[in-house]
Structure 1
Amino acid sequence: MIHVVVAEEMGLLRSALCAALSSEEDIEVVADAAGLGQLWEALRRERPDVLVLELKADAPESALDVGRVLAETPRTAVLAMSHRWNPPLVEAAVTAGVRGLLSKSVAMPELVRAVRTTAAGERVIDPSAAAAVLSPPANPLTRRELEVLRVAAEGLPLKEIARRLFLAHGTVRNHLSAILHKTGTRNRMEAVRLAQRDGWL
């Protein structure tokens, strides 16, 4: 019997995952968790074979939690799911010791197969995760726009960005406008998050 813990913050999806996995004869969901507090408690108590864990595309640092998981229960295989894989997230997950990378859009039979595969000690890499590394999104920003965005990421006002880069105030404003247009974002912090997520910064 494969013992599984499911960690997913969305209650409805978490319940659906637990029900679907538990319907398999060789899989038992022994616990589920919405947050880290519940997760650590469940891991220490259950020592599962597989942890199905959500990772957020815009927060590669969330993969650091995997390292803590493996420190707590080194025999647990981590099967990570994400809405959108990107190079920083894939790199962080693999570095942290994740054994499986799946898209959250996979069909349930694929998830079941992935749980069995990771429990058996093998790796699972979803095509979308592989594509994120082999064909990362093209960077539409110029070198100067990236410089402006890198300084803007510090939260500085336009005048300070201009002073730091030895540019005119209006030039910085024009660069930021071009950045928002090219990235389809609403403000500079959204643009920063997108650029970090896709590995441009």
Structure 2
Amino acid sequence: MIRVVVAEEMCLLRGALCAALSNEEDIEVVAEVTGVDEVSAAVRRHRPDVVLVDLAPDEPQPVEVVAGIVTATPGTAVLALGRQWSQTTVGELLAAGARGMVGTDASLAALVAAVRDVAGGARVIDATAAVSALSPPCSPLTRREAEVLRAAAGGLPVKEIARRLFLAHGTVRNHLSASMRKTGARNRMEAVWRARREGWI
């Protein structure tokens, strides 16, 4: 019997995932949790064979989530569920110990097969994630915006970024504002994180 913990914050989707997996004769859902904060405790308590964890787009530390599960129970396979994959995220999740990645648009049959495969020791990467890993995404950032954002990643103040890139302070602020708008971020460090996640910087 394959023991599974399901981590999904959306109640409707979580219920559907649990019902679909529980209908399989060789799969048992031993716990369901609403978010990544509860995953580690559930994994330590139940020692599942597989953790199916939804890494939402706004989850700030998907790699740390996966690494935490792998560290807590090295024998547990992590199957990441995601809405979109970037080249950087795919590589980092694999390096953190994820056994598989499946898109939220995958069929239930494909998801069930992925659970069985990772439980058996195989690595599963669906087509969307594989394409993302092989094809660099098209960035909405201009070359200069990307340069400013890379400089901001080190925590440098605007004045220092301007000095290093030979730009006016106002120009740096404008580039940072444009980067935040294009990445949908609330501040420049979130913009850095989102741009890195998408492989834009």
* TM-score band w.r.t. shorter chain: 0.7 to 0.9
How far does residue 81 in structure 1 lie from its aligned partner after superposition? 0.7
Aligned equivalent of 1:87: 87
Q: Which runs of 5+ in 2 are unaligned?
A: none
Greater Cα offset, 50-59 or 166-175 = 166-175
| Aligned amino acid, residue 42 of structure 1 | A
Q: Which runs of structure 2 are paired with 1:101-180 in the superposition (5 Å)?
A: 101-152=101-152, 154=155, 156=157, 161-169=161-169, 171-172=171-172, 175=175
Q: Distance in 2 between matches of 1:65 and 1:178?
A: 30
Q: Deviations over 1:62-119 (max 9, x none)?
A: 2222222122222211111111111221111100111111001111111111111111
Q: Distance in 2 between matches of 1:184 and 1:40?
A: 30
Q: 1:14 to 1:168 in 2, by over 3 A?
A: same
Q: Which runs of 5+ in 1 are unaligned?
A: none
Q: 1:186 to 1:122 in 2, by over 3 A?
A: closer
How far does residue 61 in structure 1 lie from its aligned partner after superposition? 3.1
Q: Is the contact made by 1:61 and 1:92 (CA closer than 8 Å) also made in structure 2?
A: no
Q: Is the contact made by 2:185 and 2:194 (CA closer than 8 Å) also made in structure 1?
A: no
Q: 1:36 to 1:59 in 2, by over 3 A?
A: closer
TM-score by length of 2: 0.82
Q: Percent identity of the aligned residues?
A: 54
Q: Distance in 1 between matches of 2:48 and 2:72?
A: 11
Aligned equivalent of 1:199: 199
Q: Which runs of structure 2 are paired with 1:31-46 in the superposition (5 Å)?
A: 31-36=31-36, 38-46=38-46
Greater Cα offset, 63-72 or 127-136 = 63-72
How far does residue 164 in structure 1 lie from its aligned partner after superposition? 4.7
Q: 1:73 to 1:187 in 2, by over 3 A?
A: closer
Q: Is the contact made by 1:161 and 1:172 (CA closer than 8 Å) also made in structure 2?
A: yes
Q: 1:166 to 1:68 in 2, by over 3 A?
A: same
Q: Is the contact made by 2:101 and 2:129 (CA closer than 8 Å) also made in structure 1?
A: yes
Between structure 1 and structure 2, the one with the greater Rg is 1
Q: 1:114 to 1:8 in 2, by over 3 A?
A: same
SS in 2 for 1:139: coil
Q: Distance in 1 between matches of 2:92 and 2:161?
A: 30
Q: Deviations over 1:28-79 (max 9, x none)?
A: 1011112345323321222111110122345573222222212222221111
Q: 1:156 to 1:12 in 2, by over 3 A?
A: farther
SS in 1 for 2:32: strand
TM-score by length of 1: 0.82
Q: Distance in 2 between matches of 1:187 and 1:30?
A: 37
Q: Distance in 1 between matches of 2:176 and 2:41?
A: 45
